[in-house]
Amino acid sequence: MTSIRHIASGRAELATEIAGSGAPVVFLHANVCDRRMWRTEQDAIGATHKAIAYDRRGFGGSRAEPEDFSALDDLLAVLDATADGAPAVLVGCSLGGRIALDAALRHPARVRALVLIAPSIAGAPEPVHAPVVAELLAQARDAEASGDIDRRNASQARLWLDGPLAAEGRVAGPARDLFLAMNGIALRARPFGADQDIQPMFHRLGEIAVPTLVLCGDLDFPHIQQRCHHLAATVPGAEHQTLAGMGHLPSLEDPARISACIAGFLARRVDGGGGGDRHAGPAR
């Protein structure tokens, strides 16, 4: 059974879905999705935990008046309203992963563990793209300049759902339909301000002191895959898994597998499974 709340943060009302009870697990979506990217995973984890997923400003069912804001403060507002004072496991994909990392570094008492899927990392080196990837990115910039939202949406599905190392249309059916619906809302959203609270963290990854699982698809951008390897090698005791045949959004491609990855990590490292040993050797 799930419930929906609208949590105030500044001039925003963040649509937040809660399933289950127990220790809190918060899902943070990518910048081309909304909380629905975690639908299956939230249901699965909600069987044993309080599983929380929310839409950031400009996404899904959230509403926001224009103002400069802090995405980290928005996450803290959700934690204040839903976590009952307990530290939370943060599950973040892409930009959602960046927010989770930021919370672990700047508010470590609020974070119990991290599951990071192809996360953005503020301050990471600028990538150098191979010609084939650079051409796809140029096509995406042309689509954005055209002002045609449907064209932009299709271009972003090509990059972020299919993956730049795979053929266009590789991911079809309900997963593609959901991507286009979620990203379409974001592309059509009214201006809502800019995040003014982004701090470089690439040089601080070794300070993270909670159990961490890093996942990345082998069809994702090469620089993102390299960044994930660096993250897992730098965070003490982090685990790393490469997801064969998947792109940037594996929770849409194979939600049952991602649910199992998260549940296994929670059992192994968090819920009495050795989560306090930050010096344990990384699993590759």
Q: What tokens does 172 get?
A: 């079809």
- β-pair partners for 8: 13
pTM for this prediction: 0.95
Q: Residue 275 in contact with residue 112, Cβ under 8 Å?
A: yes
Classified by CATH at the fold level, domain 2-126+193-270 comes out as Rossmann fold (3.40.50)
Q: Residue 35 in contact with residue 54, Cβ under 8 Å?
A: yes
The rounded radius of gyration (Å) of the Cα atoms in the chain is 18
Q: 153-197, pLDDT tens digit by residue?
A: 999 999 999 999 999 999 999 999 999 999 999 999 999 999 999
Q: 140-156, pLDDT tens digit by residue?
A: 999 999 999 999 999 99
Q: Which residues of the chain have pLDDT under 50?
A: 275-284
Q: What tokens does 221 get?
A: 């951008």
| Coil vs helix vs strand at 228 | helix
- Alpha-carbon distance 154 to 170, whole Å? 13
The half-sphere exposure of 2 on its side-chain side, counting CA atoms within 13 A, is: 18
Residue with tokens 């792109």: 247
3-state helix, strand, coil in the chain (%, to 5): 45, 20, 40
Q: Where in the chain is the domain with CATH 3.40.50.1820?
A: 2-126+193-270
